[in-house]
Amino acid sequence: MSRKPDDARRTLTAVNPATGEALGEVPLATADEVRARIEAANQAFPAWSALSVEQRARYLQRARDYMLDRLDEVCATISRENGKPRVEALSSEVFLVADLITLYAARAPSILADRSIPLHNPLFKATKSSRLVHQPLGVISIVTPWNYPFSIPMSGIVFALLAGNTVVFKPASGTALVGLKIDEILNQGGGLPPGVLNTVVAAGSSVGTALFEPPVRKVVFTGSTEVGRRIHEIAARSFIPTVMELGGKDPMIVCDDADIDLAAAGAVWGAFTNCGQVCASVERVYVARSVHDRFVEKVAARTRALRVGADADHEVDVGPLANPEQLATVEAQVVDALSKGARVVAGGRRPVGPGNFFEPTVLADVNHTMKVMREETFGPLLPIMPFDSEDEAVRLANDSEYGLTASVWTRDRERGEAIARRLLAGTVTVNDCVYTYGLCETPWQGVKDSGIGRSHSDAGLLEFVFPKHVNVDRSPGFMKRRMWWFPYGRAAYEVQKLAVRAFVSAKAMPRFLASVIGRKDYRKALM
């Protein structure tokens, strides 16, 4: 967490959200400095994009090794500034980045290689060849949040650089020190050439709109739907494409045949990992009425056993909320739910003492009139609601403007997959939840107001290139014209009539060829 910037000194004070301890001062970039770094990226692009994918990958592998040599230091930096326990900093941030670099340093050359396009039209097939050439875009603007301040930025930066782009990276001001650690790992540890990665710590709108305008060629944003919509509108003025991973209100469906102990444990972890500050958090649970009460009891018992506090000796399960604003959102949703008939079965209070803490809280007797079931919480709340039929469960789960992830819990895997296909979400898991951002070979994506485009996976890497079509004519030298060129005439028309019929019927092809060979005026129309 960071305190508001001192406009006179143009610095930001980084603060530990668990203790209120000041961690350091970070200089803020001005709008002019932001523009200068965008221009530096623009100037560095030609040389960087001219390197082979293998050469670019070696820089990232060196950065990975530098990171792993300083593993404890990196995890401690994330934990102190974001508040999450160090085990989460390791498992959901550093581990993911190491895997991503290792896998895609090896995979990227084949993914980004030229692709031949088989041509169907027989005339073109004989005289033309087509290829897709994966061309880097240029300067990529990457703007990232504070909830996963290491893995989310690194995911975008790694793919952008592998694909041959240069990057201007704006970390969340609330986790500026983590952003600077990323810069150190890649620039100092990886030895990137000057201008390839440019990190700007800036305070919100004070930097203007330069990050979303030319010479930037693509914007990658992770954050709230409201902010993402504003950025998308600015970028659209210059037809700059965006990749956006936005909000979520992710449902969990617990069927009557589910392993209730497994589902309860999954719900507690899915709701409270990173103090619930996960776009893919389990934010609402729908449970078959026949097992509802038993499920609620098990979830409540597991929730009460969670250890909440500042991570000092790896003995904490749930840390603080990252900032007072998120704490206020959680408190407001609890008040709203209770005023409309909800019941607290675990937690429900802000503990006494320093830090942005709120007890992991389970609510029962909830319904869709409550904010906790409609609006993104991004905090340690778990509302649980019964359902009477599978159709009702699917309807309730889909009754949201968001569609990032969802989960289904059942002992019948075929049933689970069938329900998964009916849910409107970018990713649906069966008998697990939340974790799939860690599967870097699979796409991370949302539907509806949860975003556009995708990160991770081969498809995510291809977000950072333009698939240029290159077509080459291979006609023999004696063919001085093409059948669709001027001059037009009756013969040209008749030839094309024959061609249209021939290309949709294999039986018509011999007649077409015989006609072309047998008539001088037809041959002339082709040559």
Which residues are known to be catalytic?
Answer: 245, 279
- Pairing, β 444-445 against β 454-455: antiparallel
List own/partner pairs for 258-263 with CB under 8 A and 24 or more apart.
258/288, 258/291, 258/409, 258/410, 258/411, 259/409, 259/411, 259/431, 260/291, 260/294, 260/295, 260/298, 261/298, 262/409, 262/431, 263/295, 263/409, 263/431
| Measured distance between the N- and C-terminal CA atoms of the chain, rounded to whole angstroms | 72
How deeply is 66 buried, as exposed, middle or buried, from its count of CB atoms within 10 A (0-12, 13-18, 19+)? middle
Euclidean distance between CA atoms 227 and 246, whole angstroms: 9
Residue positions counted in the chain: 527
CA nearest to 317, candidates 378, 268, 255, 254 = 268
CA nearest to 211, candidates 34, 45, 44 = 34
Euclidean distance between CA atoms 49 and 165, whole angstroms: 6
**Residue 349 backbone dihedrals phi, psi, to 5 degrees:** -135, 160
Euclidean distance between CA atoms 435 and 9, whole angstroms: 41
State the Cα angle at 21 between 17 and 23, rounded to 5°.
95
